[in-house]
A and B are shown apart, each in its own frame.
Chain A
């Protein structure tokens, strides 16, 4: 369909940068959501049939990510915001599917916050019955992620640790060339 070739055209894409603590949902096939992740998690959730999708970007506060602590309450709320917005825009809970990214351990010697973030996201989605159709979590590199919410396509690029902006607000990235080296179409 023409729609997909338009989506692939960076000149026509509408980029929405999702920063930490944010959540965005759209039905616009020209929107591509972008984010940069260190130990944070981005959940990309969509309803393929309704053509609606969205992304959040969250970091659990200090905590083990288990049990009923404040960290889990915070994460559950971040997920709930995204899911509620999807449902409001016509998605059906039973059709939702997720892709999750992030949760890296960028620095030695610190607690592995990334691991507890990704463990939380996986457990939350499993408990809520939302299948994870693909994921890229853990490792020692930051990630730049682009997500086309209506098609579900994701492009991820690993970012060198030295250049990794660790979970801080940053302006939207400049439009990238169509085939920049290092980009990998993963899913």
Chain B
């Protein structure tokens, strides 16, 4: 083999090896970081393996929000109108979090069947209006009740 050829072969070999390593590592990292998504019904029917980290999506059930006065801890119930799953979260809830609002929470179910959320996201659609908003508007002079910092998705424009 000519030295020029050998050099070329060497470089191609080097590239192929590097690329295969990159592909392998990427796929491994991908597999390690998949978050499944389940509905409350799937959770209630036991489709979620024990201790798995996943996302749950549903509506915040009316009248289910319970906040502790002296801490940042909040409990509420999420529902898909068939099954319900209680959720517990410590932290500041998103701007748009309220009863009847669609939310997505990330975390895992504890032994008592409560979903311990590490993150709560509220869906946002600017074409939506709810009466709380109107009420909040009327009460805005005294500080808008129900206004919370957002932790949601980025808007697209």
A joins B in a complex: no
State the B residues within 8 Å of A (CB).
none
